[in-house]
Structure 1
């Protein structure tokens, strides 16, 4: 089923309301007696396609993804001292360099290579999911400007064709405020239906139903604003439904998971240029809010993420899209550095982002310090949200950051392989 995120998305006003292993002793044993983790040998990344051919996939890890578990500072004794019940042994990580290693379940990520950007956050973090998600959706680091469009929507307005059936799409249960745009059409698609407009199974009944939908949603100058908006949305859904029905076929190899279904549909959408889509938003359904039993729950999430992202990247390569698609993860915040009494981690501040595609594998930017935490024992951001977004806007799409972000943020250098 398709639902429309049209223009300002009603100003976004409604969206804002919407067994322990590890330990310090274990780390000592792991570093003294276990074999050192094997360094990664990531393949040579492709050179990025020309800017007008580039596309973006944003994977939203809502709930607060723990960057210190996804990318482990495995040689930092402070990490093991503060996380006596939730640390990951140094011998188990997929080593990136002499400081950082990927979570043990991220085997496909390790084999394919990823750019790692740690310490991503804001100078004035908030521990509320709703507040921080709103800031990320709108690209408002301090939460003071309250834009009426989303960051991804503003990007769509710059890089997309206003006449296209859609420029941005969210593969979730409804429109995302992140894609709220002024000029271009953005919408949502249900990955379980492949974006098809809901139709009866009987062909004759389906034809009558479709004709009725077109008739009911014909423009009428006498209609009120709300009815006009609803009809406009329905017409766009009907228009894109015809495009969705002709998408390239799905390929095998994806895991049987919600993220697997989302990324399988994303590959089909990205492979077809006729609808004009440049940006795909993928909201993960997994619960990153691991206040309890962090080790077990997080390992399960990473296992599913790894299987889905591995299949997705292989699919993109088969379709000849490896140089055209940048994949980036984000989360509204990370987790507190010390673990709690329930084998879990409470709300934190800065987190870690992964980027895949035409990127240089390894660590980028400044690694946050575990010795200079804020007053809530959280990581201090070393890469501002606006700098992360500038890397996508300016570094990937060559769109001047000031066109879509407040101020003049600079992209993080050295990530994109463009020559």
Structure 2
């Protein structure tokens, strides 16, 4: 499936990835014998590779992930007051420090170490999924600039070679504004068939189909602009399919979830340095919109995230590239602080983001207060989304934040283990 980028028209959907995987890191409960959270002892951080070797994986947790359930303010009595019947008990969290602890299902993540950024959002939030997701994807915090490129696409333009088969790849079906760019190739890949385009059981049928597609993708000077655009998109898809056929073998041990399949393919793509890929965008297919029965549903979501990330990190380590890959995870907004009448949480404002890989474990930025909520009962942002993105752009890739983001946001200091 080929989807056309408004600016470059070079996104293409290519089948990718059968289910498989790799064993996770052994976890531990991090609980003291008294039933209170114990002291966190994550391993020493991996030191980041040289700038030109660095890669990025962005996990998009669409639907509105509850930051107070991912990073639980277990020591704050106000949290228990506002979340009566749904608050996570202090003795069950994986303590990061004396105030925050990871969700009980994030045991592998806690064992391996992670950088937690609470209170990420914008000064003028919107409660619409579509609006806030678009702001995150385009790096437009107030929703007023409406750029025609995405934040990840602008990074690709700075980092990549226009001659590369793809500088950025999204492992989801269809186009994403996040990778809209101006000068390089970005692609959308359906992570279902190991990146091959297409997959037919009969090799003769496949060969004939590919021959026809290659003929149609060949440019002609007589083509009208729209037809030339279609040819260019098809050529980009076919070129990336040829790359996918040469990728390193997949690892075992991944969970069979959609996220497991996506990250399994991401590891293979990142393991090959010869094709110019710098950024992989992973739209997580789970539903974080927990208006009802939040505790049980969120437990399943966190278990899925934890097992897939554990397999991915182990895979990167085995391939010898763990120091090259930063994983960033965000959601378009958090949930309302008070629980509703359905054991659920309604749309909120500020949320919690994660950075893991060659990062220093701990909490970064200011934790939002539960005593100064906005008029809707939502957390007020203490870290602007542009500051989170500036950390990715400037601290990780060495790209000045002002080159890819509005204003001149400052990165959060001390996150990257350089």
Structure 1 length normalisation: TM-score?
Answer: 0.92
What residue in structure 2 maps to residue 26 of structure 1? Answer: none
Q: Equivalent residue for 2:46?
A: 46
The offset of 1:9, in angstroms, is 6.2
Write out the 4+ residue segments of structure 1 that deviate beyond 3 Å after TM superposition: 2-7
- Deviation of 1:35 after TM superposition, in Å, equals 1.4
Q: Secondary structure at the match of 2:169?
A: strand
Tell me which residue corresponds to 1:285: 285
Contact kept, 8 Å, 1:179 with 1:186, in 2: the verdict is yes
CA contact (8 A) 1:7 1:183 kept: no
Moved more, 209-218 or 307-316: 209-218
Structure 2 matches for 1:207-356, cutoff 5 A?
207-356=207-356
Please list every run of 5 or more consecutive structure 2 residues that lacks an aligned counterpart in the other structure: 12-30
Q: Which residue of 2 aligns with 1:413?
A: 413
Hey, what's the Cα distance between the residues in 2 that align with 1:202 and 1:298? Answer: 43
Are 2:376 and 1:376 equivalent residues in the alignment? yes
Deviation at 1:207, TM superposition (A): 2.3
CA distance in 2, matches of 1:173, 1:252: 24
Q: Secondary structure at the match of 1:323?
A: helix
Would the aligned equivalents of 2:62 and 2:331 in 1 still touch at CA under 8 Å? yes
Instruction: Give distance in 2, aligned partners of 1:226 and 1:199.
Output: 27
1:69 maps to 69
For 1:170 and 1:340, locate their aligned partners in 2 and report how far apart those are by CA, in whole Å.
35
TM-score, normalising length: structure 2: 0.93
For the pair 1:399 / 2:413, whether they are aligned, the reply is no
1:277 Cα shift? 0.7
For 1:182-222, what per-residue CA distance to the aligned partner results, in whole angstroms no more than 9, with x for missing partners? 01100011111111101433333322222211111211222
Query: What residue ranges of structure 1 are gaps of 5+ in the alignment?
Result: 13-30
1:5 deviation in Å? 5.0
For residue 20 of structure 2, what is the aligned residue in structure 1? none
Q: Given that residues 5 and 186 in structure 1 are in contact (C-alpha distance below 8 angstroms), is that contact kept between their aligned partners in structure 2?
A: no
Deviation at 1:354, TM superposition (A): 1.0
Q: Is the 8 A contact 1:4 1:186 kept in 2?
A: no
Tell me, in whole angstroms, the C-alpha distance in 2 between the residues paired with 1:226 and 1:34: 68
Q: Would you say 1:138 and 2:138 are equivalent positions?
A: yes
Shift in Å, 1:224 = 2.0
C-alpha contact (below 8 Å) 2:8/2:183 kept by paired residues: no
C-alpha RMSD over aligned residues: 1.7
- Secondary structure of the 1:3 match is coil
Q: 1:7, CA displacement in angstroms?
A: 6.0
